[in-house]
């Protein structure tokens, strides 16, 4: 007399309950396939394994946790085991139950591997799709290519409320900033991690990474910057012999070389985000022109530099009138200009200036004295220092003296 067929439906329902109510349909025909494999003394066939992979993909698309679907299959397997004919007749054929156990374990292992593979493939596709959707939204937001209503509605889908103030950070690096290493997701997650309701979006754009984040106050901006820099690879730009030891980073990212991040000021609405984006890019441009060492440049700290560039004609007049005599120095104006810039950046401290330029204090003092001799302006006099500092910043911004001033036209 043959043994009754296993109660597949009851086993599947019980396994689904074991897995926290996971959809029983995700089991597919796993139970009868395993029963057939054990009866035939063979492993699961290619078609059965392909179905397992497809069910793993479906689970990922449905938002089922990988742990839950694996639990579903393992629970189904151990519940199926005592109902198999080979187990029920173990007393008559002890070796048969051993063979059945081996096949059962191998079938379950193969099925779990295919499920996990399918799940991971689907998750990878979902991540790529989500990244593409975010990138498209960020492009529309920064280019102004969509109406406000559409942008606000789309932003809500990404957990961003455009009614509140937001700031934009732009990250550039010497190395590639593609998303293959998960850089954008890590940056975005670091900002969102400040507090549960802090919306943020990150996307690769124009060879850099753009991060839009909630910025209700100055403290929020400073905290966001700290979180962003904490997850980035160590920056060669800020490496110093006397710097603090390299911090421990829990998430390793691919090296991106020397990097710099510009931060725009916070504004409200889509137009405000575009303005903050423009400021962040301008901050990066100014930092390059000024050859700043800081890896993070805040547009709020560069307002004076922007003011200088508002009237380029007046700025060139200041440079020509105050700094042109430096051309008479041996070696030209460049060494004295670099000394003045380092001196002002070091808080008018000759020792710090000397360390920064790798010179002796005596050499720095000599150069400052030469500036006084040639220009008649004393870098240590408060009034003269202000004019010299403005002229030196202007020279950095305009690339003087390497890029000469355009000829002046005489009035008619």
pTM confidence score: 0.59
Which residues lie across from 259 on neighbouring strands? 173
pLDDT higher at 402 or 225 = 225
**Helices marked H in 243-311 — which ranges?**
269-290, 303-310
Domain ranges of the chain: 8-125, 144-299, 306-398
User: Is residue 73's pLDDT more than 90?
Assistant: yes
pLDDT band at 186 (very low <50, low <70, confident <90, very high): confident
Query: Does domain 306-398 fall into CATH 3.40.50.300?
Result: no
Percentage above 70 pLDDT, the chain:
86
Instruction: Please give the structure tokens belonging to residue 32.
Output: 């009868």
Would you give the distance in Å from CA 294 to the centre of its chain? Answer: 19
CATH of domain 144-299: 3.30.70
Q: Write the CB contacts of 307 (distance below 8 Å, at least 6 apart in sequence).
A: none
- The tens digit of pLDDT for each residue in 124-146 reads 777 666 667 777 888 888 887 66
**CB neighbours (10 Å) of residue 355?**
15
Instruction: Report the C-alpha gap between 333 and 335 in whole angstroms.
Output: 6
pLDDT band at 405 (very low <50, low <70, confident <90, very high): low
Percent of the chain clearing pLDDT 90 (strictly above): 40
How far is residue 192's CA from residue 362's CA, in Å, rounded to a whole number?
51
* Residue entry with tokens 């700043």: 292
pLDDT of 181 above 70: no
Average pLDDT for 11-27:
91
Reply yes or no on whether the pLDDT at 206 is more than 70.
Answer: yes
pLDDT digits (tens, 9 = 90+) for 224-259: 999 998 888 777 655 443 444 444 443 445 567 789
Q: What is the mean pLDDT of residues 92-112?
A: 89
Q: Give the pLDDT score at 303.
A: 84
Question: Tokens in use for 395?
Answer: 């020279």
More confident residue, 55 or 91: 55
Q: What is the pLDDT of residue 35?
A: 92
Q: Lowest mean pLDDT: which of 147-161, 223-237, 323-337? A: 147-161
More confident call, 179 vs 371 = 371
Higher pLDDT, 319 or 181: 319
The predicted model gives 185-189 an average pLDDT of 82
246 vs 248: CA distance, rounded Å? 7
Name the DSSP class of 368: H
Question: Is pLDDT of 340 > 60?
Answer: yes
Q: How far apart are CA 89 and CA 288, in angstroms?
A: 81
């Amino acid at each position: 007399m043959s043994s009754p067929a296993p109660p597949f439906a009851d086993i599947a329902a019980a396994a689904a309950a074991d897995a926290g109510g996971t959809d029983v349909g995700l089991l597919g025909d796993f139970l009868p396939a395993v029963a057939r494999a054990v009866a035939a003394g063979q492993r699961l066939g290619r078609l059965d394994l392909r179905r397992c992979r497809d069910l793993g993909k479906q689970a990922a698309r449905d938002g089922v946790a990988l742990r839950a679907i694996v639990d579903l299959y393992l629970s189904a397997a151990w519940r199926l085991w005592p109902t198999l004919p080979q187990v029920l007749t173990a007393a008559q054929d002890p070796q048969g139950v051993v063979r059945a156990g081996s096949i059962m374990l191998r079938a379950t292992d193969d099925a779990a591997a295919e499920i996990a593979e399918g799940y991971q493939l689907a998750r990878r596709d979902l991540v790529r799709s989500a990244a593409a959707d975010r990138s498209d939204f960020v492009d529309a937001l920064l280019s102004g290519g969509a109406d406000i209503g559409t942008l606000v509605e789309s932003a809500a889908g990404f957990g961003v409320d455009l009614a509140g103030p937001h700031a934009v950070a732009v990250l550039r690096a010497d190395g590639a900033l593609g998303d293959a290493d998960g850089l954008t997701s890590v940056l975005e997650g670091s900002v969102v991690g400040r507090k549960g309701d802090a919306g943020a979006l990150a996307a690769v754009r124009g060879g850099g990474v753009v991060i839009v984040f909630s910025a209700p106050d100055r403290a929020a901006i400073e905290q966001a910057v700290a979180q962003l820099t904490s997850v980035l690879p160590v920056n060669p730009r800020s490496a110093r012999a006397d710097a603090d030891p390299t911090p421990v980073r829990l998430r390793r990212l691919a090296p991106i070389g020397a990097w710099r991040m510009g931060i725009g000021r916070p504004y409200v609405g889509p137009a405000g985000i575009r303005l903050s984006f423009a400021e962040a890019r301008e901050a990066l441009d100014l930092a390059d022109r000024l050859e700043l060492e800081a890896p993070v440049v805040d547009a709020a700290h560069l307002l004076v530099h922007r003011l200088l560039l508002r009237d380029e004609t007046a700025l060139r007049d200041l440079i020509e009138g105050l700094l042109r005599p430096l051309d008479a120095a041996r070696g030209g104006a460049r060494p004295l200009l670099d000394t003045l810039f380092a001196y002002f950046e070091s808080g008018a401290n000759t020792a710090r200036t000397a360390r920064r330029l790798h010179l002796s204090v005596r050499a720095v003092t000599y150069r400052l004295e030469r500036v006084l001799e040639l220009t008649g302006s004393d870098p240590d006099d408060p009034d003269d220092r202000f004019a010299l500092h403005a002229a030196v910043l202007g020279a950095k911004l305009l690339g003087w003296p390497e890029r000469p001033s355009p000829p002046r036209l005489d009035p008619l």
